Amino acid sequence: MKTAIQSAAFQFKLDLKSGVPAYRQIIDQVQAGIAAGRLASGDQLPTVRQMAVDLAINPNTVLRAYRELEIRGVIETEQGTGTFISGRKPQQSQAERERQLNQLVGEFAARCGSAGLALAEVIDRLKELAYETSRSGKREGR
């Protein structure tokens, strides 16, 4: 038996004026949700049609985002059932992880700097992203 949509707490939003393709914004938000812990292995994503309605875009655009996430192994799709966060955890060496973290953070800080954004405000925004809805209910294992 399936329970109601657990990911109801997760809200997708589009900024159509940003120049960033809609499908890419969806991909980013799913991956950001995973990083923030708001989406975890087994969680169901909104159906293609539902998200299309929510975001007022064409279902094909949602489909495309989901397909790309599936190719990358981020989500899994079950015909006629729905779309779920995949169980895969890459699990790399601690050293490698550390290296990657520094690489990402360093590059990001540089970019913020060149955009005239203070790290302080950027960190605040990230915190919001991370903790905003982190206390929402989750589906276990699957």
Name the site residues for DNA (rule: CB under 7 A).
19, 21-24, 45, 47-50, 57-58, 60-61, 63-64, 66-67, 70, 77-83
- Residue keyed to tokens 């038996």: 1
Q: Which does 75 bind (CB under 5 to 8 A by kind): DNA, its own copies, none?
A: none
Q: Are 49 and 59 in contact (CB under 8 A)?
A: yes
Examine residue 8 and tell whether it contacts its own copies (CB under 8 A).
no
* Residue 7 touching its own copies (CB under 8 A): no
* The one segment of 1-9, 45-53, 72-80 that binds its own copies by CB under 8 A: 72-80
Question: Could you give the CA distance from residue 72 to residue 32 in angstroms, rounded to a whole number?
Answer: 15
What's the longest Cα–Cα distance across the chain?
51
DSSP string, 49-116: HHHHHHHTS-HHHHHHHHHHHHHTTSEEEETTTEEEE--------HHHHHHHHHHHHHHHHHHHHHTT
53 binds its own copies (CB under 8 A): no
Residue 44's DSSP bridge partners are: 84
**Residue 89 touching its own copies (CB under 8 A):** yes
Q: Residue 7 touches which of its own copies, DNA, none (CB < 5 to 8 A by kind)?
A: none
Q: List residues near its own copies by CB under 8 A.
A: 11, 13, 15, 17-21, 24-25, 27-38, 58, 67-68, 71-72, 74, 80, 89-92, 97, 99-123, 125-127, 129-130, 133, 139, 142
